Amino acid sequence: MNTTRKVDTDRSLSRLRQLVDLETPSGHVPGLDPLYELLASWSGGLLGESERVVVDGVPHLYVHERVRDPATAPVLLLGHADTVWPLGTLAERPFTVAEGRVTGPGVFDMKAGLVTALDALELTGGADDVRMLVTGDEERGSLTSRALIEEAAAGCRAVLVLEPSRDGAVKTARKGVAMYRLGVRGRAAHAGLEPELGVNALVELAHQVLAISGLGDTGRGTTVTPTVGRAGTTTNTVPESGYVDVDVRAWERAELERVEDALNVLCSRLPGAGVELAGGINRPPLERDMSRGLLLAARRLAREQGLGAVVEAWVGGGSDGNFTAALGIPTLDGLGPAGGGAHARHEWLDLGSLPERAVLVAGLLREGAAALSIP
């Protein structure tokens, strides 16, 4: 039986408007705190106690399960409240609904997913064995929230990540992410009077960028991308120092480790120059094996509920689901509604997909441990 009509779409839209109207750049307490207050009030009676957890000045919302039974492994609903948009963006692009499309900063990534989580809980009538974590710095790499994510996921039987879908597809695999900065040391000198006395950090940096660019592996899907670089201070000075930032993505942890090992042994090419590496692996991969059981359950539930077919996608971007999958906990990502333009000015949400996604997530919550069975 199709239960889509049980979702109060008008209320969902009203809640989404309230969330989008709160600007929440990563770590922005004046926006995040009132957003968490809304989520806590909406989840009252559906989940257990709400706890605001502050780590290094960044607030996060942890809503516990109603019944804490050591014999029952809970399910974790996981999402984030922060967006990539700076303060003032809302004035330029306010919340708008037109012909079934909803626009506004953060509407797709991922405030609609938070509304979906609440709608799903209400369809279940609340769940004794479900907890929810909403973080405030996912878009900056979850530097203050990773330990909290891993703590919340510990002992869970499944993690459902409400990140936006990929054109309606759930995300069953995500690349792991590593971020580095390679610094270069040279020696300054006057570029006109005695350039031979200098060691040109920019030339050294050019050698290093070319070496770094060759570390990817197209066949394995591993990308190593120099992204931001800088060297020098004035046009008449031999550059004394420089740096390049490097983005690394891979489907397998072994590939991330291979690239890191190669970066660690880079040596300077110019006499008198030096190099120094900082950074490391930020997110391990979410490997498909950790999503397979939940994907099969979602497909069966969709058929039973008369919903659209559940398709899967592998994506290069990371999420907090990477952390939970790396702990060995079954994790299904991209359970938020359909839309597009994440991190782009044309970001939009398909309003009609909100109730369907809520029904699907509610079904996974009701299934409990049975949702993990693999035929």
Angle, CA 225 vertex, CA 262 and CA 250 arms, to 5° = 70
Two tokens, residue 168: 């309606």
Answer whether 131's CB lies under 8 Å from 78's CB: no
Q: What is the DSSP string of 160-207?
A: EE-PPPBTTBEEEEE-EEEEEEEEEE-B--BTTT-GGGSB-HHHHHHH
Annotated domain spans of the chain: 4-174+285-372, 176-283
Q: Which is it for the CA torsion 13, 18, 23, 25, positive or negative?
A: negative
% of the chain surpassing 70 pLDDT: 97
Mean pLDDT of the 24-47 span: 97
Report the predicted TM-score, pTM, of the whole model to 2 decimal places: 0.88
pLDDT in tens, 298-337: 999 999 999 999 999 999 989 999 999 999 999 999 999 9
pLDDT band for position 47 (50/70/90)? very high
pLDDT in tens, 217-269: 999 999 999 999 999 999 999 999 999 999 999 999 999 999 999 999 999 99
Q: Which CATH number applies to 4-174+285-372?
A: 3.40.630.10
pLDDT in tens, 91-101: 999 999 999 99
- Cα–Cα distance for residue pair 298/367, rounded to 1 Å: 10
Cβ contacts of residue 98 below 8 Å, gap of 6+?
A: none
Rounded to a whole number of angstroms, the distance between the first and last alpha carbons of the chain is: 23
Collapse the DSSP code of 139 into the 3-class scheme (helix H, G, I; strand E, B; otherwise coil) and give the result: helix
- Cα–Cα distance for residue pair 359/47, rounded to 1 Å: 18
Collapse the DSSP code of 112 into the 3-class scheme (helix H, G, I; strand E, B; otherwise coil) and give the result: helix
Look at residue 368 in the predicted model and tell me its pLDDT. 58
Q: Which CATH number applies to 176-283?
A: 3.30.70.360
